[in-house]
Amino acid sequence: MRELLKGISKSLGLDENFIHEKMSVESGSQLLVINFYPACPNPELVMGLPAHTDHGLLTLLTQNEFGGLQIQYNGQWIPVNPLPNSFLINTGDHLEILTNGKIKSVIHRVLVNNKGARISVATAQGPPLEAVVSPAPELVGDDNPAAYRAITYRDYLTIQKSNELHGKSCLDRIRI
């Protein structure tokens, strides 16, 4: 995780420890989610998991062989085919907030299939619950004003839990 955040920090022209330190990742929170999607005789009638973005900085996801995960790119749904023994890394809402939209939180959804049960295991890595996340001053300027309100990670999770997913991101609730 630290190495990934180092690479992302450097790609933004910042010190390699920038995100790790700013977000106190060392004492941050980690959420483990196990998803089980039974095989479905009529997959075209059912959505396994509706379109959403993940909270937090990065999500590490591993999946079995049945596929179904799709990522939205330029308005199109792109299938993410499972690679054995690999992790997929998704960017999350708090990376978008911190980078003032330079790195977007990826919109994704999951389709079901009629061949077998899909299982995925995801860990969302975020800052401590009491951390106030706002666009980093280093990434805000006159031509790029802050695009999100400051909010604690805990309050963001509360809003997200109270929100129906339906393709809308919780990010829309704090956009300026």
Picked from ligand AKG, Fe ion, none, the partner binding residue 35 (CB below 5 to 8 A depending on kind) is ligand AKG
- Residue among 122, 139, 151, 171 that touches ligand AKG (CB under 6 A): 122
**CB of residue 91 to ligand AKG, shortest distance in Å:** 12
Judged by beta carbon, residue 76 or residue 81, the one nearer ligand AKG is: 81
Picked from Fe ion, ligand AKG, none, the partner binding residue 39 (CB below 5 to 8 A depending on kind) is none
State whether the Cα torsion 22-24-28-33 is positive or negative: positive
Residue 96 near Fe ion by CB under 5 A: no
- Residue among 61, 111, 133, 151 that touches ligand AKG (CB under 6 A): 61
Picked from Fe ion, ligand AKG, none, the partner binding residue 55 (CB below 5 to 8 A depending on kind) is none
Are the beta carbons of 69 and 63 closer than 8 angstroms?
A: yes
Residue 110 near ligand AKG by CB under 6 A: yes
Dump the DSSP string for 4-23: HHHHHHHHTTS-TTHHHHHT
Residue 35 near ligand AKG by CB under 6 A: yes
Q: What is the separation of C-alpha 173 from the centre of its chain, rounded to a whole number of angstroms?
A: 16
- DSSP bridge pairs for 109: 70
Residue 54 near Fe ion by CB under 5 A: yes
Sequence-ordered alpha helix ranges (H) in 12-167: 18-22, 93-98, 153-162
Judged by beta carbon, residue 13 or residue 38, the one nearer ligand AKG is: 38
Which range of residues in 7-15, 61-69, 129-137, 159-167 is near ligand AKG by CB under 6 A? 61-69
Residue 93 near ligand AKG by CB under 6 A: no
Are the beta carbons of 1 and 58 closer than 8 angstroms?
A: yes
Give the C-alpha distances (Å, rounded to integers) separating 109 from 34, 50, 76, 162. Answer: 15, 5, 12, 19
Are the beta carbons of 57 and 94 closer than 8 angstroms?
A: yes
